[in-house]
Amino acid sequence: MFVRFSSSAGLNKRLTSIPTTFFMHTSNPKTLGGAMAALAIAALSVLGTTASTQKTAPRAMASTGQAVWVIVTPVKADKRTQYERFINEIFWPGAAKVSGADQQAFRHTRVLNPTKAEADGTYSYLFIMDPVQKGADYDVESLPKKAYGPEKAAGYYKLYTESMAGKQKVYSSTQTQY
């Protein structure tokens, strides 16, 4: 039996934690097939846990009674690359340049990318503010101004608005006990 470690740095530890008796009897033709199968399963288990796991910081979620927003942002099919560039290369990196309160808004916001188009051909991106941070700025136009200044922000905001396929839908809710 081998022991699993949760970090990818522990890969060598996991491989070396297979008992030596596992390898001692592999020359016996009767156990060679079983030993090879066990080794293959062990290797797949080790590689599967490290190759598919991305490290993300744990996030605190809303407690009972706290506000949670879900914002649906419709994006034009031919502007998805532009929109994702705005979010991934401009908007989110700008979080490091704003105040601590506004940084909290980013820390408690998740973005979900669509896996397929809507019936009308647009793509719906979801922003989940969980929980909503009181006093934080969530405005897509003002945050880039704070991070990059008014001139750069105007050009960045244009990238955002050109990609939109309509108005955002905002769902305001309260976390239940479940």
What would the pLDDT profile of 77-116 be if each residue is shown by its tens digit? 999 999 999 999 999 999 999 998 899 999 999 999 999 9
Range among 12-16, 19-23, 55-59, 66-70 with highest mean pLDDT value: 66-70
pLDDT of residue 58: 75
List the alpha helices (DSSP H) in the chain. Answer: 11-16, 20-24, 29-51, 80-85, 100-107, 142-148, 150-163
67-174 classified as CATH 3.90.1520.10:
no
Q: Where are the domains of the chain?
A: 8-51, 67-174
Is the pLDDT confidence value at 152 over 60?
yes
Q: What is the pLDDT of residues 29-86, one digit of tens each?
A: 554 454 444 444 443 343 344 444 556 667 789 999 999 999 999 999 999 999 999 9
Residue from 169, 170, 148 nearest 159 by CA = 148
pLDDT of residue 173: 97
Is the pLDDT confidence value at 16 over 60?
no
